């Protein structure tokens, strides 16, 4: 089989799927086409077949495989992308029948992640997921085990000797797991420090391309890459955010979710996604202009449950409500907030919702501080949010919002 060198022109791809009735096949293929475009391919055709289950040998039936082979030959197709995970035998048999390189949905997603990872931890997580996925599939590549050729499905590690030496891969997997465990411990210490310092975290989660990075930039000027692409950003970003009641929280952006997110990827990124588990409030951001908005919301909720976030205060955030396609009246989610991160509308309501969802750690009080205790006034000015102050004959009068522990410390000065 010919393996393609790096090209300027996008690879021509054809999508294949088996419609078993377990999910909406057409919608899933639409998403797969977006993934292919994100990876740099040009989709020129689709082929699917209704079956109770995929063919154990060739995924599609023999008649469809012949049609696929003819289509690939007539249209000079570079790549076949399957909308399911393929077994090693299916991968080998399809490539033999159609004489075209074949990747599956998981390989495609891992390829995109390999291209987008920027931080050291992100690269390690992607490499670990790639190696765990490729290890049992080495036999599926026939005699041509090296993937030195360019193109989709070949980026990242796992390209020369890693695919010919199982022991080397296993050693590398163990090494990566140890490195990630060390990073996870460091992340855990950072979380413990934040809790000790009373820093509360708010995590942004949601379907990929829902506008999470744009929201992060709008609220905190984080400077995160925001593009109309799936998985435009992969590495988490943390920034301080001041709420209307004066509380400062840590706002954390996380990797986007997607239907049938590969299990290896969920496992590899679990340490990053654990930020959602430890957060005080979760913002579930979805694209209100997408016809599949309700389903995207449900996909995210299911993944959050899988991570152990059940019962966590969660605010559904319907973004892109400025677009004509948005139909926010279809959604009756409790406590939902409607915003446009790009147009900066609805953000005050969102911040208020976050304040209400957070545990009551601050209180609004009135105090009259005698002039003999000037230090108290200095502390309250420094650590509280002064809304009004007045020098009176009997002392310094303050109206402020402060931590409940600070209020309790000076409770003798509280007035009604």
- 144-167 pLDDT, tens per residue? 444 444 566 656 554 445 445 678
Question: Which is nearest to 243 in space by CA: 336, 361, 343?
Answer: 361
**pTM score > 0.75 for this model?**
no
Q: Give the number of other Cβ atoms within 10 Å of residue 184's Cβ.
A: 15
Mean pLDDT is lowest, of 11-20, 231-240, 247-256, for 231-240
pLDDT given for residue 324 in this prediction: 67
pLDDT in tens, 15-59: 999 999 888 899 889 989 989 998 889 999 999 999 999 999 999
pLDDT band at 283 (very low <50, low <70, confident <90, very high): very high
| 146 within 8 A of 163, measured Cβ to Cβ | yes
Q: What phi, psi does 344 have (nearest 5°)?
A: 60, 45
Q: What phi, psi does 309 have (nearest 5°)?
A: -100, 10
Which domains occur in the chain, in start order?
A: 11-162 (3.40.50.11060), 199-357 (3.40.50.300), 362-413 (no CATH)
Residue count of the chain, please give it.
416
Residue 79 scores a pLDDT above 60: yes
């Amino acid at each position: 089989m010919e393996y393609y060198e790096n090209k300027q022109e996008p690879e021509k791809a054809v999508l294949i799927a088996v419609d078993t009735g377990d999910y909406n096949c057409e919608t899933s293929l639409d998403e797969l086409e977006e993934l292919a475009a994100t990876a740099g391919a040009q989709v020129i055709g689709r082929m699917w077949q209704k079956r109770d289950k995929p063919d154990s040998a060739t995924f599609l039936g023999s008649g469809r495989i012949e049609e696929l082979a003819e289509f690939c030959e007539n249209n000079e197709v570079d790549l076949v992308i399957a909308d399911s995970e393929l077994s090693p035998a299916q991968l080998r048999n399809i490539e033999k029948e159609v004489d075209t390189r074949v990747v599956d949905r998981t390989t495609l997603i891992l390829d995109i992640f390999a291209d987008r990872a920027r931080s050291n931890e992100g690269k390690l997580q992607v490499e670990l997921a790639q190696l765990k996925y490729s290890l049992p599939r080495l036999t599926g590549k026939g005699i041509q085990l090296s993937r030195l050729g360019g193109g989709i499905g070949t980026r990242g590690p796992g390209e020369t000797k890693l695919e010919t030496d199982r022991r080397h891969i296993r050693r590398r997997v163990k090494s990566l797991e140890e490195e990630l465990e060390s990073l996870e411990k460091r992340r855990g210490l950072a979380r413990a420090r934040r809790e000790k310092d009373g820093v509360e975290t708010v995590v942004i989660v949601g379907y990929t391309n829902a506008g999470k990075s744009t929201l992060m930039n709008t609220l905190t000027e984080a400077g995160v890459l925001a593009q109309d692409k799936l998985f435009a950003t992969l590495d988490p970003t943390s920034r301080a955010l001041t709420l209307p009641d004066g509380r400062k929280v840590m706002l954390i952006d996380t990797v986007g979710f997607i239907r049938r997110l590969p299990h290896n990827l969920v496992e590899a990124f679990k340490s990053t996604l654990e930020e959602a588990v430890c957060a005080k409030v979760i913002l579930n951001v979805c694209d209100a202009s997408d016809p599949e908005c309700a389903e995207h919301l449900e996909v995210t909720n299911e993944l959050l449950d899988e991570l152990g976030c059940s019962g966590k205060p969660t605010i559904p955030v319907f973004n892109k409500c400025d677009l004509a396609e948005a139909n926010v009246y279809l959604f009756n989610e409790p406590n939902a907030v409607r915003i446009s991160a790009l147009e900066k509308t609805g953000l005050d309501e969102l911040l208020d919702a976050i304040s209400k969802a957070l545990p009551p750690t601050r209180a609004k009080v009135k105090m009259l501080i005698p002039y003999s205790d000037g230090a108290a006034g200095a502390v309250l000015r420094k650590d509280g949010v002064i809304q009004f102050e007045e020098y009176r004959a009997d002392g310094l009068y303050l109206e402020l919002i402060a931590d409940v522990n600070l209020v309790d410390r000076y409770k003798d000065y509280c007035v009604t």
